[in-house]
Amino acid sequence: MRLSEIIKEIQKLKPVEQHRLKEFFITSLSSLSASEPVFQEINERKNKEGYTCTHCNSKQVVRFGKYMVKVGLKEVERQRYRCKDCKKTFTDVTNTPLYRTHKPDKWIEFIKCMLEGYSLRKSAELIGGVHYVTLFYWRHKILAALNQMDFDKFSGIVEMDETYFLYSEKGKRNIKDRKPRKRGGSSRFRGISREQICVLIARDRQKSTFSGVLGRGRLVKSQLEEAIGSKMSPDNKLCTDAWRAFSTYAKSKGIKEHYRFKSDGVERVRGIYHIQNVNNYHSRLKGWIQRFNGVATKYLDHYLSWFQFLDIIKHRSDSGSISKMIVESCLFPINETYQSLRTYEY
């Protein structure tokens, strides 16, 4: 059929059908124009120091034909590679969140929904054609990748503070010991107990940030060493609250300048030394995480990485932020599979 004939046919449609056709074209054409530059950037960032084998890290990699992917309405061609050492083939997205996906364009829409803070159900409605349970897996594949974003060393002043989240098995089936708590709930114990999960935020004034789960119960020195030991040096100037684990840690690390601030709030600032940046970070984090009505402890690290990423992009959901999130999450290999994520709910 010629185009002029197609147009004639379109003119015969009812207005509401014409409108649907228009929407169909806009969605499929814009998904192509949105996803191709992103894919291009993944390709360039990944291979900026030459090709590397995804399976064995060998540099003995050759290009090995093309494969086709459907994006929107169009088929596009992508590069495949082969490793001369382990003989396996791979692509730029092997073992990334986009691996084996048949809907690369829908991922971009989903990232936008994540940045907007929409629930999985609402996201599924907006995207169309993807079940919200599938989106739960997409969410955690992306977060498992972002969780690997890292930096080398802290510099200068480092603020540290711990905060606690209630232990939660949200979504786990057959909880035997006790009735599942709904919506976070409250602990059976006063103060800090094994029911509480310690989260550390450490941040220097360049905003290099560590945010991660240290374990159950009160913060102890060995957890600090394990979590951030490689990033700290004796030259760092440490600002913390008065909890003794920080002092023993600073001593063992040979840190000469350690500024402690009691939580009674009498002295909050000593010149340029304070812990207000991490304290603010805590309260923004706690405010943000409320929308999930309790997070399974198993996934707390994922949500901490999510918030950290939002903090980096200043909570903007423009196209620059969308492509940054998808590109960054495709730079790290992930082991999470549908199987490993399956036992928890959404």
Task: List residues near Zn ion by CB under 5 A.
Answer: 53, 55-56, 58, 83, 85-86
SS3 6: helix
- Reported as half-sphere exposure (CB side, CA atoms, 13 A), residue 145 has a value of 24
Q: Which is nearer to Zn ion, 60 or 263 (CB)?
A: 60
Contact present, 238 and 257 (Cβ < 8 Å): yes
Nearest CA-CA partner of 343 in 299, 311, 307, 306: 299
Q: Alpha-carbon distance 42 to 324, whole Å?
A: 10
Q: Which is nearer to Zn ion, 89 or 222 (CB)?
A: 89
Shortest distance in whole angstroms from residue 93 CB to Zn ion: 16
Shortest distance in whole angstroms from residue 306 CB to Zn ion: 31
Residues belonging to the chain: 346
Q: Alpha-carbon distance 110 to 126, whole Å?
A: 9
Q: Which is nearer to Zn ion, 86 or 166 (CB)?
A: 86
Please, which residues bridge with residue 75 across strands? 70
Q: Which is nearer to Zn ion, 51 or 137 (CB)?
A: 51
Shortest distance in whole angstroms from residue 53 CB to Zn ion: 3
Q: Please give the backbone phi and psi of residue 117, each rounded to the nearest 5 degrees, phi first.
A: 85, 25
Q: Which is nearer to Zn ion, 87 or 286 (CB)?
A: 87
Burial class (CB in 10 A: 0-12, 13-18, 19+), 79: middle
Shortest distance in whole angstroms from residue 61 CB to Zn ion: 7
Q: Which is nearer to Zn ion, 30 or 58 (CB)?
A: 58
Shortest distance in whole angstroms from residue 203 CB to Zn ion: 37
Q: Which is nearer to Zn ion, 58 or 297 (CB)?
A: 58
Shortest distance in whole angstroms from residue 59 CB to Zn ion: 9
Cα-to-chain-centroid distance, residue 89: 27
* Structure token pair of residue 265: 């709030």
Provide the pairing of β-strand 209-216 with 196-204. Answer: antiparallel
Q: Alpha-carbon distance 321 to 208, whole Å?
A: 19
Q: Alpha-carbon distance 50 to 60, whole Å?
A: 10
Shortest distance in whole angstroms from residue 68 CB to Zn ion: 24
Q: Which is nearer to Zn ion, 38 or 61 (CB)?
A: 61
Place of tokens 């997409």: 138
Q: Alpha-carbon distance 168 to 143, whole Å?
A: 19
Q: Alpha-carbon distance 212 to 191, whole Å?
A: 21
Shortest distance in whole angstroms from residue 80 CB to Zn ion: 14
Shortest distance in whole angstroms from residue 84 CB to Zn ion: 8
Q: Alpha-carbon distance 235 to 119, whole Å?
A: 44
SS3 299: helix
Q: Which is nearer to Zn ion, 54 or 236 (CB)?
A: 54
